[in-house]
Amino acid sequence: MPAIPAWPPKSLPRLFVRGRLGEGARVELDAAQANYLGNVMRLGEGAELLTFDGQSGEWLARIAQAGKKRMTLSVERLTREPETVPDVWLAFAPVKRNPTDWLVEKATELGVAKLIPVMTRRTIAERVKLERLQTIAIEAAEQCGRSVLPSIEQPVSLAELLSTNGRTLYFADEGGGEPAASAFKQGPSTILTGPEGGFTDDERSAIRAASNAVPVSLGPRILRAETAALAALASYMAIAGDWR
């Protein structure tokens, strides 16, 4: 659920719902969503809110029936067409749980199209809980006004990532590279960042050998892994993405 806003809220609450939205559709909310709207936001029958399903844009809906544990919405009209985000993916070596959560939340806010966990030699995290990361992305999307969710992929190996063609692979290399400010260009792009301990020398050589790889520098300081991922993504959005 989104964070609790100042009371009374200045804008309508936004809620992600599963299932396809459309004019006249009726949507059954689950207990957590009903609790959020009824008890946290103190909304009852007739109240308006904004909804999105991740595909069809943003819709104005109204609470048609409010029970203690259930709620039904009736969908009225489209308020925004589905958004388009720049074709930029973030391939990141998962770090510890909290920084990974933070990375997913912020990357969603920044407008990333796809998140790909990449397991590298020095990746400490053994497992990635995709469902948890999807929930975090949904909450971030509800908060920041996104109507299309980033897709969050199953973890891949570095070799699998390097076999993806047709996209420029901006490799954040703490060992040096072209400054990000001049390297980033519009077009299908993947940003790759390493784990807490960095890439091994073998991995760096393999990445640099890929024909689509562009090693980039994120400045003179060594950034924490999650800072590097978000700094690179924010820079990309400013230089070649939708901040321009």
**Using CB under 6 A as the criterion, which residues of the chain lie in contact with ligand SAM when the complex forms?**
172-174, 193-194, 196-199, 217-219, 221-225, 228
Name the residue nearer to ligand SAM (CB basis): 48 or 202: 202
- The residue nearest ligand SAM at its CB is 194
| In the complex, minimum distance from the CB of residue 220 to ligand SAM, in angstroms, rounded to a whole number | 7
CA dist 206 and 192 (Å) reads 13
User: Looking at this protein, which amino acid is placed at residue 170?
Assistant: Y
In the bound complex, what is the minimum distance in angstroms from residue 90's beta carbon to ligand SAM? 11
Residues 182 and 82: beta-carbon distance below 8 Å: no
Q: How far is the CB of 225 from ligand SAM (least distance, A)?
A: 4
Element (H, E) at 180: helix 180-183
CB of 100 to ligand SAM, least distance (A): 13
CB 60 within 8 A of CB 22: no
For ligand SAM, give the closer residue by CB, 54 or 215.
Answer: 215
Residue nearer to ligand SAM on the CB measure, 158 or 218? 218
In the bound state with ligand SAM, the residue whose beta carbon lies nearer, of 135 and 212, is 212
Residues 127, 98, 30: CA angle, nearest 5 degrees:
80
**For residue 96, what is the DSSP state?**
S
Strands 26-29 and 151-152: unpaired
Q: Which two three-digit tokens encode residue 218?
A: 């994120």
CB of 222 to ligand SAM, least distance (A): 5
Q: Would you say 168 or 193 has its CB closer to ligand SAM?
A: 193
